[in-house]
Chain A
């Protein structure tokens, strides 16, 4: 687990393989739309996030998570809960 690094850096690192065009990533980046990841791809990526931070992000929550900033908030809240 690498929670000492800022969460956003870690998420951007995990997104790198899904970003072949090298689009600049920020909190405002819409993950499925701007990176053109399909619904299954997003769920696969979220599994990597879950395992990196050892947290659970249910699919119901993924449906409401669009931007990198949204995801950072979810991860923060879930790390605190764990």
Chain B
């Protein structure tokens, strides 16, 4: 393993250091997947709650999430910067210019998207499904689980759209991450800043990889949507 790394350390592609490249890709994936994990863990129960429970101001909350779906990343970056900076509300945590700050930024950006899309998928489930569940003896909790199962493709599509937004985002991440080499440098920020410096080889290499990842996410998204339409495919019932 060590000799492998040592061997890679010297090697370059198009003048790009391979270890550096892999490090950047690895951090990007780590940050985006962490953000998505948080979004999913908190966002999906919230979406289910919004879709299945009635409470005052529910419509307003849903509207809020729909509006925040299109949050401009630089605005999120700015607010997060102010909150995380030394004199900010969370300044004491020293999170500015750390990977954690980037995770936070991507979480905030992907959260409304995932909540909105999952919520839309849940409310789209035919009301007859709930009735059918009732006729077969489902408790209200079991009815809710059944509706969530019926919406699984739409929810999955929402989560993947969130992952897409998280990996492609640059504005907020650059502001709170700082693009520090070997520490907070991710694919998008590297592309943005290396292009600025005229270092096109690295930017291009990362651009192509990022594109490939986006393509992969999109293909998976299409596949999931298609499965939902043809009513075949994966079965998450057990």
Partners in one complex: no
